[in-house]
Structure 1
Amino acid sequence: SILTGLFPPTSGTVLIGGLDIQTHTDSIRHRLGMCPQYNILFNHLTVAEHILFYSQLKGRSRDEAEQELETMLEDMGLTHKRNEEAQNLSGGMQRKLSVAIAFVGEAKVVVLDEPTSGVDPYSRRSIWDLLLKYRPGRTIILSTHHMDEADILGDRVAIISQGKLFCSGSPVFLKNCFGSGFYLTLVRKMRNTRIGRAAVKVIHHHIPEAKLIENIGQELIYLLP
């Protein structure tokens, strides 16, 4: 909310493209796109009308907006829904439309608040593809609860807990510094001590640093580096 100018900061300054969000709000919003956590759509506007409206709101001409509309519909896989009212779209399609709106008007800074929240796996993947395609030449700030999403999409990842920044860096850097490794779970068909010892021997032969952290019933759980 502070980054997009909805609320003033209690302290500090937010600069977007070298401009202060508090003193140059109108100028910044022409180059800023946002997808809030919850869809904000007009029930009786169609998919095409939404994209045309927001594109022209960003200062694009009618011809430019229509050209952008065709590109966006194809990229989002919404071509067959172009004349469908927003209220008749599925939750996944509404979310895809909200993400598309954030990128219209050649937005150079895009803020996405949990863009894949509540969508099906197919829609989630298509949103990922769109973000990866539109990433060059833009700054995209994305919040998510899915670590795989942060890993795939993020050049840099920041982990925030209870309002405090705990760490930030590239996904590889964070894994090297804080990653605990992988868990290997073996399930035995029967509680056989001899088979258990044989399994331990094989694991330690290939991965000497493996640690047995749980031996419950017929399950053996190892922590691998």
Structure 2
Amino acid sequence: MKAKIFITTYAVILSTMFAITSTSIPISFGLKMIEEKQKSVANGLIAINGLSLGLQKGQVFGLLGPNGAGKTTTINVLSYDPFLDAPPRGETYIGGINLMENPKRVFPYLGLLPQFDVLWTDITTLDNIYVFAKIKGLSNQQTLAASDALITRLELQTHKNKRLDALSGGNRKRASVVVTFLTTPRCVLIDEPSSGIDPIGRRKLMELIHERKHNATMILTTHSMEEAENLCSKVGIMMNGELQCYNTCLAIKNKYGSGFRLEIDLLKDKIKSSSDLHMVIDKITKFLKEKCNSKCYLSNHVGIKLLYLFPPINQMLPYLFELLEKEKSKLLINEYSISQPTLDQVFNSLCKKNSTANNSQP
């Protein structure tokens, strides 16, 4: 009973501090950052350097990058984190409101799913939900309706009356998702949503984001290229605090990808020795260079599996398919596939180039 009274009192105090009310939503909603810079006092490095972007309602923007690129710092700036090493320089507008000048006006429209949960571990899942519902200004009836629907959807029914410290990391993350989407936030910041969640929970979270994205502007950071391609209308790759590229996944793969890949699986029963294998590889390589493109090359081979890389010449594809179908038996080809470089391969290539450039600097 004392715990319940404490939670209720604490929720009322927090809701008063943040002054969240049911003010009207701006007609035109989106997010804009203008020349945002954030310096880390601890090591003197620029964590975010000249980041400028504009996002509209209904858009999911995926922020990709290696560890230390500045993704989480960007989320912290956008959520007005009071524990940043130094105040950011620049302007951020959420729903037309300047975040740095009027953060309390922005809070009612903001939803945040941090990388690490910020829930209280010594109270139950439902108690945590109740506290944050009060902070968001929900009535008891609204809290019950919204939380029951989300708890059922994320399969937390058996854990809702357990203390947070008794839950696994994945179930804690699900509880944080419930807190984030209790209301209908117009700007949602999601920091590595799938970290620590099992495949079923990840799928349910992706479905929830797909459902809610139409009435919100969303930014998510992730290391999962599959997640970025499935969820994001546009992505940006961030390195050393700077945005290196910004476009759709397909446009980025077309611009930064290395053409297309030809994977070949040879007829195993026709190759009796390693010398036979090398002869077949040389024959296929010569054939492809003469008939298709002199710039193609054998990138890798493991046993009877070969990988050739071609420059980005899309007009060649129909001719290549026709040629391989005609000559596959002569070349001892069992099966083959042609594909575009994946976003993961493009990301790794950009990271490698950036690392090489940094190492070459004096």
TM bucket by the smaller chain?
A: 0.7 to 0.9
Given that 1:185 and 1:220 are in contact with CA atoms closer than 8 Å, whether structure 2 keeps it comes out as: yes
* Equivalent of 2:213 in 132, 135, 157: 135
Q: What CA distance in whole angstroms lies between the structure 2 residues aligned with 1:4 and 1:146?
A: 23
Deviation at 1:88, TM superposition (A): 1.6
1:161 to 2:239 alignment: yes
- Structure 1 match to 2:176: 98
How far off is 1:114 after superposition? 0.9
String of CA shifts for 1:9-40, please: whole Å, max 9, x gaps. Answer: 53211111111112221221121111112121
Q: Structure 2 residue aligned with 1:4, among 79, 83, 108?
A: 79
Q: Unaligned 5+ residue runs, structure 2?
A: 1-75, 313-362
TM-score (norm. length: structure 1) = 0.85
Does structure 2 conserve the Cα–Cα contact (< 8 Å) formed by 1:47 and 1:84?
A: yes
Match of 1:38 in 2: 116
Kindly provide the amino acid, as one letter, of the partner of residue 214 in structure 1: S
Matched positions, count: 224
Q: Which moved more, 1:174-183 or 1:191-200?
A: 191-200
**Is the 8 Å Cα contact of residues 184 and 221 (structure 1) preserved in structure 2?**
yes
Q: After superposition, what is the alpha-carbon deviation per residue over 1:54-86, rounded to whole angstroms, capped at 9, x for unaligned? A: 122111111111110111112222223222221
Compute the RMSD of aligned alpha carbons. Answer: 2.8
Worse-matched range after superposition: 45-54 or 25-34: 45-54
* Structure 1 residue 118, shift from structure 2 partner: 2.9
Higher relative contact order (CA 8 A, sep 6+): 2
Cα distance between partner residues in 1 of 2:214 and 2:126 = 25
1:220 aligns with 2:295: no
Give the 3-state SS of the residue equivalent to 2:77 in structure 1: coil
Q: Which residue, 137, 161, 169 being the options, matches 1:59?
A: 137
Q: Is the 8 A contact 2:125 2:162 kept in 1?
A: yes
Identity value in percent:
29
Kindly report which structure 2 residues correspond to 1:52-201, keeping only aligned pairs within 5 A, or say none.
52-181=130-259, 183-186=261-264, 190-191=273-274, 192=276, 193-196=278-281
String of CA shifts for 1:124-176, please: whole Å, max 9, x gaps. Answer: 22221221122110111101112221111111111100101111012222122
**Using a 3 Å threshold, how does the CA distance of structure 1 residues 104 and 180 change in structure 2: closer, same or farther?**
farther
Residue 125 of structure 2 corresponds to residue 50 of structure 1: no
